[in-house]
Structure 1
């Protein structure tokens, strides 16, 4: 049931981020199918390397901060594309060591609306979202929906990307940062 809900959410979000010129005349279901199929069919492959998991010091006490791992060793792979507006779409999967030193997986769809900082379009910044599933030890590795705000900054084949996991006191409120390197 959870998988169906998160997939439906991801599909609906995709319908709203498709480039208008690429999807003129399409209804929302067609836009979703278009975005997923175009991204899946892309021949651009990415390597993901988790870098840091910053726990917001305003929402965690010292006891929790001292015991949490903020170095999420791991990696991931994905397939991505840039649409005709220069916006980024991706399907990805990552596995890494979480804050409690257990393996966590994360996979889904990501979108960044990009702004380019030079004429050659080498430098970019973007904001968007990721929608997918995560599996964590404290939830017995049952897939849990993962809709998160996301942002990134990039230069040519390299990007520094991040998502913020909202939460409550001593839980959540984590800025998760990773690098993305375009392999081809």
Structure 2
């Protein structure tokens, strides 16, 4: 074998080795962004690697135990006109709530476990659970940063027979360690989805039992009542039919359990004016109706203690609603999403407020809309109540 051939073979082997090393480095870089990477980079585990699955379990445990509590608030859904010429047919208000644990690693990147539920574009509830990783960079000396990364989640939708399917998405953000605003693009539907987060760094204290003097101590009962404003979406294709947003009132009873959990049984009543056209062209047959609804809901929520007398909460449950107009009446069992806050200015006085979203479906209650074409109004109640705790 000539000297030239030796050199050529050596060069090819070196190139192959470099390519293999580059591929290996790329794989390791990807693994580093996963929960397994969180375990492998932990200060108390230098070089002590297990299998990818074992490190994923360990990394997930680390994020869940050491991460800050995270309240997630869906904010806006954008349906771009280049793919949605009749964008007003779709829901743009993804009312709902979520909860997560967020760990800022030694490089300043975010690792987040989350579960969230919100109103999708078709006025149905959509749950998502998953993990996200975001690399962050400071914005000069403002105390803010911007970031980019990915979401690896699993969701299920009513328009896909509720079959679970993976949802890998890009994500970008701007914010600080406490308040942040995120956006993602969903290529399957060509939709932009935005959400906000509030992080409470209480990993060292959230496992401690609440003192008996706490206004949210285990076994306390809170009775309350108040008023609200009910948002009612038209929930149909572009039309002149309208539902007027109007006031509501509610009463409820809450039971605190353990350090973080609360159970609410609530009754809400609202009245809304409806204008509807009975002809297809929406030019004749205008009628006005009065829609009266009442809702009973039972929800369980997780509370995040921001201060001794102030907490945030998010949860879900089951509701039963009745609706009545001059045309007819109907009832509905449905999911309920809730998020809000509770403040105790005095030991036995609490103020609570929040957002309650129902997914009721009413049929035969609106004139000119019989049969299967019911009212999907997605009633969302913004409320404020005060009561007595004992």
Alignment TM-score, normalising by the size of structure 2? 0.40
Gaps of 5+ in 2: 1-27, 202-390
Shift of residue 60 of structure 1? Answer: 1.8
Gaps of 5+ in 1: 1-11
**3-state SS of the aligned residue for 1:115?**
strand
**Partner residue in 2 for 1:183:** 200
Can you list the C-alpha shifts for 1:117-163, whole angstroms capped at 9, x where unaligned? 2458x311110001010111112222111111111111240000121
| Superposition map of 1:113-152 within 5 A | 113-118=135-140, 122-152=143-173
**Partner residue in 2 for 1:42:** 66
Shift of residue 61 of structure 1? Answer: 2.0
* RMSD (Å) for aligned C-alpha atoms: 2.4
Alignment TM-score, normalising by the size of structure 1? 0.80
Larger radius of gyration: 2
Distance 1:105 1:146, change over 3 A: same
**Partner residue in 1 for 2:97:** 75
Can you list the C-alpha shifts for 1:39-74, whole angstroms capped at 9, x where unaligned? 122241000000001112212222xx1210011000
Quote the Cα distance in structure 2 between the aligned partners of 1:49 and 1:24.
Answer: 37
Q: Which runs of 4+ in 1 moved over 6 A?
A: none
Shift of residue 32 of structure 1? Answer: 3.1
| Structure ranking higher on relative contact order (CA contacts 8 Å, 6+ apart) | 1
Can you list the C-alpha shifts for 1:88-120, whole angstroms capped at 9, x where unaligned? 001001110110100001110011011122458
CA contact under 8 A between 1:15 and 1:35: conserved in structure 2? no
Answer 1 or 2: which has greater helix percent. 1
Moved more, 52-61 or 173-182: 52-61
**Partner residue in 2 for 1:15:** 31
Shift of residue 38 of structure 1? Answer: 1.8
